[in-house]
Amino acid sequence: MKKFMFIAGLALMTSMTATAQEVMEDGSKVVLPLEAQSCVLPTAPPPIPDPATKQELIEAKKHVTQFQVDVEAYRTCINKDAESGNLTQGNLLAITNAHDYSVDMETRVANMFNEALQKYKASLPPSNG
């Protein structure tokens, strides 16, 4: 998981560096506005053991829920100035890219939790009902 997050972070940094070199039709570069640059993208929650116990899943759910709250705060932060009318096309594209990346990250975290939960449920003995 740590290796995955490092690679994902490296890919983001590389793509942001490449994207920062793009020039839009209005002559602006694709770069986050200064205020949005101070927003902190949260790190993913700790990895879920495989296989996970019920208690580990309960703990993981707490971490995932907190991560979702934190990533929503990040999106609110980066989007703060998006409708101000004072941003360049490049600023708006950079905000969109950062927003989309955070949504993708949140989706991956949720999918990992859901997969661990499904695996746990599949390991339980069938109920008599």
Q: CA nearest 21: which of 13, 11, 31? A: 31
Backbone angles phi, psi at 29, to 5 degrees: -90, 155
- How confident is the prediction for the chain on average, in pLDDT? 86
pLDDT at 10 over 80: no
pLDDT at 20 over 50: no
Beta strands in 8-125 (DSSP E): none
HSE, CB side, 13 Å, CA atoms: give it for residue 106: 19
pLDDT at 50 over 70: yes
Question: What pLDDT score does 44 carry?
Answer: 95
For 2-12, letters b (16+ CB in 10 Å) and e give eeeeeeeeeeb
- Mean pLDDT over 59-85 rounds to 94
